[in-house]
Structure 1
Amino acid sequence: MATMNEPKLIAGNANLPLAEAIARRMSMNRGVQLGLVDARVERFNDGEIFVEVYENVRGEDMFIIQPTSNPANDNLMELLIMTDALRRSSAARITAVIPYFGYARQDRRTKARTPISAKLVANLLAQAGIERVLTMDLHAAQIQGFFDIPVDNLYASPIFALDIKSNFKGQMDDLMVVSPDVGGVARARELAKRINSPLSIVDKRREKPGEVAEMTVIGDVTDKICIIVDDMCDTAGTLCKAAEVLLENGAWEVHAYITHGVMSGPAVTRVTNSVMKSLVITDTIQPSEAVKAAPNIRIVPTAPIFSQAILNIWYGTSVSSLFEDSTLTPIYESLYAMD
């Protein structure tokens, strides 16, 4: 329920630039200055995390902005300890804004005697005192069911659709959306529907994690501008290989739209040297200097949609309305020239 006070934002160290951008955007929307709550989140010499909140938060509607990206364990503990500090300071409600939800790839048991870590993390968050989660493009939709608290899962596809329409004007009839695996077909279909493009699939078979043994293109990509869409790019091995296979099968050029740019290990080098014309990622994970310097990597902001989602939660209005073009377009009109 909305309170008479303004919503209050607090951030850990995982992605301060995004948290500050969300605060600026909310200030514009509300017409009042909304900064991050003054706090310190630091480590003792032995690595223990300590949090101190310098402002009164009693009775406040608090939003903690903290993706659980690399280093996942440190950022997760920061989130849990910040939650405990706020709960013990009598905050009225605590919402965790987790742009990138770490451990999401461990959403099921693929072999005997393995954990379902995504469920464990969901339990930890709820037990810490978090009452609602706001995230983007969960790796698997069923993770929402791991929580016994409300979860709002935003989608990057509406933002990507706006970006594609802006950057591929006059070429829309030549586009082909490509899912890099069978598991991502639903996500690719959603984007294809938004930009009215056909859909193709790259079927891959893995020998072991991180390596791809064989790839087959399902669908005719001849003379098409292929747009690979996925939820995350880790080492970029699969992505770069898929781009090569698409060109070998007659594609004119290949671009990629990935929500979470994990970009670990050799990822930046692989993308820079790949046949892909461009890789578009969001800022759910704070990009490294190497990512920002890469000539064929572009970053689109998520602060506009997250700030509006936070306000909708605070107002008690619909978050799913942000999935519609009529609602999202005005939020991003300063970035894209809309016809």
Structure 2
Amino acid sequence: MTTMLPGTSERSLVLVSGRAHLELAQDVAQELGIELLPTSAYDFANGEIYVRFGESVRGADVFVLQSHTSPINQWIMEQLLMVDAAKRASAKTVTVVQPFYGYGRQDKKHRGREPISARLMSDLFTTAGADRLMSVDLHAAQTQGFFDGPVDHLWAMPILTDYVRTRVDTNNVTVVSPDAGRIRVAEQWAARLGGGPLAFVHKTRDVTRPNQSVANRVVGDVEGRDCVLVDDLIDTGGTISEAVKVCKAAGANSVIVAATHGVLSDPAAQRLSECGASEVVITDTLPIAPEKRFSQLTVLSIAPLIARAIREVFDDGSVTSLFDGNS
């Protein structure tokens, strides 16, 4: 395999990766049939980061892949430096590939004197020289409007629903949203799983206390049903674990948890393994350390989706076509 994927009119595609989730980047490169561009990256004693590409990227369409995982600020900074390096090395275009969009949950002001961090993230990548952003299942779709350029919002639902469909009786499924705000997503899930009923968990949250909410009750009929509890991400696992318990207490036959991003900050693994879910299904948009894995956890590969989207962008094709007109 080569480091560049030839295209039409002598164009070439180059994939580079930061250090946050090298395994995913290698999987994407394999799907594309190329090698990752050789890159040097290391930390100075004071924490500053150095990056340098080992081969020329002049005139190439460069895709810079980095998962915004912990320590998230370090990996965001590394990706910004890689974008700047590509631009200064005369890349034709630079596309930021961030499977998980760091700071994406801070997409609006809940109280006075707060930042809109998701907007700042887009501004930082614009300043660094990014021409395009690509991400999977943004926490808020409006984040697409923060970047002054094309944004490819990839959709992991087909991957998740195809798998979950093999794990449940589609004639006895209720799709459950962890809160009222994600009912629209639950509706899309239900349509893909055969059009069963919906339910949602009524919860309360104190905006002054991060990663804490209270699941009060489930609204909808889950008694005797196989429930699929869906969300975009799982961080500390508190909300989703309590939602599983509420569904079980309401008479659910079983509960499968499905989410795109497994942030899995401590003590998520313990909570999820003990909450009563029969299975927790996520994708590998973020690396899952061995100590965060547990017997009920299933991790699906997101690499084929990202590779297909990169290929469509490079070929001036349609990313939307990957999702049957839904994006």
TM category (shorter chain) comes to: over 0.9
3-state secondary structure, aligned to 2:304: helix
Larger displacement relative to structure 2 (62-71 or 92-101): 62-71
CA distance in 2, matches of 1:89, 1:219: 57
* 1:288 positional shift: 0.8
CA distance in 2, matches of 1:92, 1:137: 27
Equivalent position to 2:172, from 171, 174, 187: 174
Checking the alignment, whether the CA contact within 8 Å between 1:3 and 1:61 is kept in structure 2 is: no
Percentage of matched positions with identical amino acids:
38
Aligned to 1:277: 278
Aligned to 2:257: 256
Q: Does residue 1:118 correspond to 2:118, yes or no? A: yes
CA distance in 1, matches of 2:47, 2:116: 26
Q: How does 1:180-219 map to 2 (within 5 A)?
A: 180-196=178-194, 197-207=196-206, 208-219=209-220
* 1:55 positional shift: 0.2
3-state secondary structure, aligned to 2:159: helix
Checking the alignment, whether the CA contact within 8 Å between 1:69 and 1:101 is kept in structure 2 is: no
Aligned to 1:231: 232
Aligned to 2:4: none
3-state secondary structure, aligned to 2:176: strand
**Structure 1 segments unaligned to the other structure (5+ residues):** 28-33, 328-339
Checking the alignment, whether the CA contact within 8 Å between 2:131 and 2:149 is kept in structure 1 is: yes
**TM-score scaled by length of structure 2:** 0.94
Checking the alignment, whether the CA contact within 8 Å between 2:27 and 2:303 is kept in structure 1 is: yes
Checking the alignment, whether the CA contact within 8 Å between 2:262 and 2:288 is kept in structure 1 is: yes
Q: 1:214 to 1:298 in 2, by over 3 A?
A: closer
Checking the alignment, whether the CA contact within 8 Å between 1:243 and 1:276 is kept in structure 2 is: yes
Checking the alignment, whether the CA contact within 8 Å between 2:227 and 2:253 is kept in structure 1 is: yes
- Report the count of equivalent residues: 317
* 1:96 positional shift: 0.6
Tell me the alpha carbon deviations over residues 222-278 of structure 1, each in whole angstroms, 9 at most, x when there is no partner: 111110110110000111110010011111011100110000010011111221111
Checking the alignment, whether the CA contact within 8 Å between 1:15 and 1:285 is kept in structure 2 is: yes
* 1:69 positional shift: 2.0
Q: How does 1:1-339 map to 2 (within 5 A)?
A: 3-27=9-33, 34-168=34-168, 171-196=169-194, 197-207=196-206, 208-292=209-293, 294-324=294-324
**TM-score scaled by length of structure 1:** 0.91
Q: 1:53 to 1:240 in 2, by over 3 A?
A: same
Q: 1:3 to 1:73 in 2, by over 3 A?
A: farther
**Structure 2 segments unaligned to the other structure (5+ residues):** 1-6
Tell me the alpha carbon deviations over residues 168-191 of structure 1, each in whole angstroms, 9 at most, x when there is no partner: 3xx111111110011211222111
Checking the alignment, whether the CA contact within 8 Å between 2:103 and 2:121 is kept in structure 1 is: yes
CA distance in 2, matches of 1:316, 1:2: 10
Calculate the aligned-residue CA RMSD, in Å: 1.5
